[in-house]
Amino acid sequence: VGSEMCIETGALAGAALGLIMAPEKGEDTRKKISDAVDDFCNKHDIKLSRKQVADLVDDIKDAAEDALD
């Protein structure tokens, strides 16, 4: 289960990176990342508050932007 979670988390981060690189408004990109995080959490029965999801989305976005620099 651990390696499966790592692979799927990596896939989620990769999807976020792809969304950040796409030429869309920041609000649209943030919404898509947030939806992907929600889907991931629901699929794996992970319970996060709205604040935790927002913080995670910010962290993913920041990490992806750092990777692009």
* DSSP per-residue string spanning the chain: -HHHHHHHHHHHHHHHHHHHHSSS-HHHHHHHHHHHHHHHHHHTT----HHHHHHHHHHHHHHHHHHH-
Between CA 69 and CA 64 the distance in angstroms is 9
Q: Mean pLDDT over residues 25-39, rounded?
A: 78
Q: With 70 as the cut, is the pLDDT of residue 54 above it? A: yes
Query: Which residues, including other chains, have CB under 8 Å from residue 21's CB and lie 6 or more apart?
Result: 68
Give the contacts of 4 (CB within 8 A, at least 6 positions apart): none
Query: Mind listing the pLDDT tens digit for each residue in 4-31?
Result: 666 676 777 777 667 666 666 777 777 8
pLDDT of residue 2: 60
